[in-house]
Chains A and B, each alone.
Chain A
Amino acid sequence: MMLALNGDEAVAYAVKQSNVDVIAAFPITPQTIIVEKLSEYVANGELKAYYACAESEHSAISMIVGASAAGARTFTATSANGLALMHEILYIVSSLRLPVVMAIVNRALSGPINIHTDHGDSMAERDACWIQIYCEDAQEAYDTVIQAFRIGENHKVLLPVMVMLDGFLISHTTQNVDVLEDEKVSNFVKHRIPAEIEVFGKKVPLTLNPENEVPLTFGPLDLWDYYFEHKRQQEDAMEKSREVIRKVHDEYAKISGRSYGNGFIETYNMDSAEYAFICLSSTAGTVKSLIDKLISKGDDKLGLVRIRTFRPFPYEELPKALEGVKGVAVLDRSGAFGAMGGPVYNEVRSALYDSDVHPFINGYIYGLGGRDMTMEMLKSIYDDLVETVKSGKPKRKIEFVGVRE
């Protein structure tokens, strides 16, 4: 069924269909529409969940910890400063192995205070051991939220999942979103089935439920003698999530007819490409338009690799996608003060280091605080990249695009 939804509404619609038990949230622009819609769904009985208005994002995610540990399927959403306020608890969520799903409507972090999109907020949490999926548009945000419950709750994974969409550009712009029937989604996500652990020879659901045969302790003190092993297990879960992300993505494609590359990266015009752009989220749409325009003028040498799943990072998929490419422009929508380029740039270079694929790689930081990324700017990046390759000298310097110097 086709509905005219903005990105936030699409997220809320997916949550409504996903048999969620507990929602706790705090309003922040541009996430607000998500929580308003969920409040409306609960109020009119369309969504049979408990919705709590937290008095801060810190308490919102803290409530989610309690609810998820009790065995509930949980959802929350935030942006920018709200996510930063949650920072402490994000690590606790993943270490308690709670399959929480959270939508992040990307917004620039203060300061200065700003409400528009960039990826500084979620990039600051890339090491929190949350699966991170960046969506290009409202349709993908809808599809990905549904997938996220299945991914995080898989017993091989048991990790929280962040689903990112660009503030305002996606959250507040309406597009046609093809939503599945309630029953179809419900059958796909089912209800959360907690994992079981063995205690004193008994299989016990990993929840706070007093009706379990053995009561469990969550969040004990954990020092030098065990902490490291627990962190190692998280890394292991992150690795195991790769297979699950792919399977859930493919299975969802079967019921919806929609897929996003292989679930990790999506490529566009890469067959003939000698040059490639790498970016996340809605900018990919503008890049695709540029590529189409270039093709119409007879230049089919530019392609796109959109990174969809940033955590776990697709370090095996990337070199394959970039085979035969001479130059790559990596677009980062977040700053990296004092580092050798933005986070996407660094990860991409690291992924290619041990491979046989060694194109020129230029890093471009753009769009901070919601600054527009136009076709003209992208074209100038393309020209710059071609020039770098032709000069035969790596740039080794980050360019800032669209900024007054």
Chain B
Amino acid sequence: MSWINLRELAKKRSLFTSGHRLCAGCAAGIIGRLVMHSVPDPKHVVVVHATGCWEVAGTIFPYTAWAVPWIHNAFENAAATASGVELAFKALKDKGVVKKVPDIIVFGGDGGTVDIGLQSLSGAIERGHNFLYVLYDNNAYMNTGIQRSGATPRYAWTTTSQVGKVIPGKLEARKPIANIIAAHGNAYVATASPAYWRDLMEKARKGIEYKGPAFIHAISPCCRGWRFPPNMTIRVAKLAVETCAFPLWEYDPETREYKLSPPSLAIAKNPKLKKPIEEYLKLQGRFAHLFKPEKREDLIARIQEDVDKEWNQLLELCGIT
């Protein structure tokens, strides 16, 4: 019997409360609430936040939407900050100042994780601190107004990878951040989508309970930046999984094994379920230039090729051939 019971969950107080100023339809808030609902003991948790839209939307002095101790330091150092929090509580526990070391959860966007914060994150993972780092990946620097990041997918429009007569959006593929973190070898790693909320919560709980660094890469569709109506967030988050643009998997540092999660495993078992990438792209205005004024079959095919290659590589990692 799972610890996740909707009826019980509905009664639980949210640790990321209402009153925040996230956009309607923002996936980050959904991911955050799911993760915070996965905390085993709401009285023993500290949240660390990298600079980003969620960080600024969750606080503005003298207000806060956080019902747990929370710290924001800077953009690129959330993992280092969390490392320090962990060491401090270990020291304070040794000296009897606190009863136990709290669970530490870090939230960072793709800019703060994949780009500017990668070194700090890698260092913290290597040092083996005990925290769960949740990357909410909205594929661009959304806080500053939709600029290209290392997590922006190929051919996506952003305000710094503009679509013009010569260049059709971002020319490069995204950085495989979850694989990079998994390559450290000592961290529990998982990908997650708010469309599969139970899967996300189970992974969050696993990450929190893992004695060592844990990393969840959650896709976080952004209606402002991806250009879709706010009521489509979960639909987009689901299509990302169904098209294998964002497959769901886990990496177990104990066995050093990759494992597909149920929604993606179903596709692996029955490849006919794998939807064409076009279905994911056509919902999003950031890919509109692939469909009009004329349909760019060549570019869509290139994206499909990226998806297929990454998917096949993942199947191989998971021992499915």
Q: In the complex, A22 Cα to B60 Cα: how many Å?
A: 30
Q: Are B85 and A69 in contact (CB under 8 A)?
A: yes
Residues of B110-154 at the interface with A, using a CB-CB cut-off of 8 Å, are 119-120, 122-124, 126-127
Q: Are A89 and B123 in contact (CB under 8 A)?
A: no
Residues of A62-77 at the interface with B, using a CB-CB cut-off of 8 Å, are 62-72, 74
For residue A253, CB closer than 8 A to chain B, the reply is no
Known A-B contacts: A22-B84, A58-B120, A226-B62. Give 16 more (CB < 8 A).
Answer: A22-B88, A22-B91, A52-B87, A63-B81, A65-B77, A66-B82, A66-B86, A70-B46, A70-B85, A210-B43, A210-B102, A211-B99, A212-B69, A217-B69, A220-B59, A221-B55
Q: In the complex, A207 Cα to B67 Cα: how many Å?
A: 14
User: Smallest CB-CB separation from A60: which chain B residue?
Assistant: B80
Given contacts A62-B84, A71-B92, contact A219 B72 (CB under 8 A): yes
A344 CB to nearest B CB, Å: 31
For residue B74, CB closer than 8 A to chain A, the reply is yes
8 A-B pairs with least C-beta separation: A66-B84, A55-B123, A220-B59, A63-B84, A70-B88, A62-B77, A72-B88, A62-B80
Q: Are A64 and B84 in contact (CB under 8 A)?
A: yes
Interface flags, A22-59, vs B, CB<8A=1, else 0: 10100000000000000000000000111011111011
For residue B70, CB closer than 8 A to chain A, the reply is yes
Q: Are B81 and A55 in contact (CB under 8 A)?
A: no
Q: Are A215 and B70 in contact (CB under 8 A)?
A: yes
Task: Give the chain B neighbours of A68 by CB distance below 8 A.
Answer: 84, 88
| Chain B contacts to A: CB under 8 angstroms | 43-46, 48, 55-56, 59-64, 66-74, 76-77, 79-92, 94-95, 97-99, 102, 119-120, 122-124, 126-127
Kindly name the residue among A55, A59, A60, A72 whose own CB sees the greatest number of chain B CB atoms within 10 A: A59
For residue A256, CB closer than 8 A to chain B, the reply is no
Interface flags, A263-288, vs B, CB<8A=1, else 0: 00000000000000000000000000
| Chain A contacts to B: CB under 8 angstroms | 21-22, 24, 48-50, 52-56, 58-60, 62-72, 74, 88-89, 92, 191, 207-212, 215-223, 226
Q: In the complex, A52 Cα to B60 Cα: how many Å?
A: 32
Q: In the complex, A223 Cα to B79 Cα: how many Å?
A: 25
A74 CB to nearest B CB, Å: 8
Q: Are A89 and B61 in contact (CB under 8 A)?
A: no
Q: How many A-B residue pairs have CB under 8 A?
A: 166
User: Smallest CB-CB separation from B81: which chain A residue?
Assistant: A66
Q: In the complex, A66 Cα to B73 Cα: how many Å?
A: 8
Q: Are B74 and A62 in contact (CB under 8 A)?
A: yes
Task: Give the chain A neighbours of B70 by CB distance below 8 A.
Answer: 208, 215-218
Q: Are B92 and A21 in contact (CB under 8 A)?
A: yes
Interchain CB contact (< 8 A) of A215 among B68, B77, B81, B89: B68
Q: Are B60 and A48 in contact (CB under 8 A)?
A: no
Given contacts A92-B73, A210-B45, A210-B46, contact A58 B68 (CB under 8 A): no
B199 CB to nearest A CB, Å: 27
Q: Are A70 and B89 in contact (CB under 8 A)?
A: yes
Q: Are A217 and B64 in contact (CB under 8 A)?
A: yes
User: Smallest CB-CB separation from A212: which chain B residue?
Assistant: B69
Interchain CB contact (< 8 A) of A52 among B69, B83, B89, B120: B83
User: Smallest CB-CB separation from B76: which chain A residue?
Assistant: A58
Task: Give the chain B neighbours of A209 by CB distance below 8 A.
Answer: 69, 92, 98
Task: Give the chain A neighbours of B87 by CB distance below 8 A.
Answer: 21-22, 24, 50, 52, 63, 67, 72
Task: Give the chain B neighbours of A74 by CB distance below 8 A.
Answer: 84, 88
Would you mind naming 13 contact pairs between A and B with Cβ atoms under 8 Å apart?
A54-B123, A56-B123, A63-B81, A65-B77, A66-B48, A68-B84, A69-B84, A207-B69, A208-B71, A208-B85, A210-B68, A219-B59, A220-B72
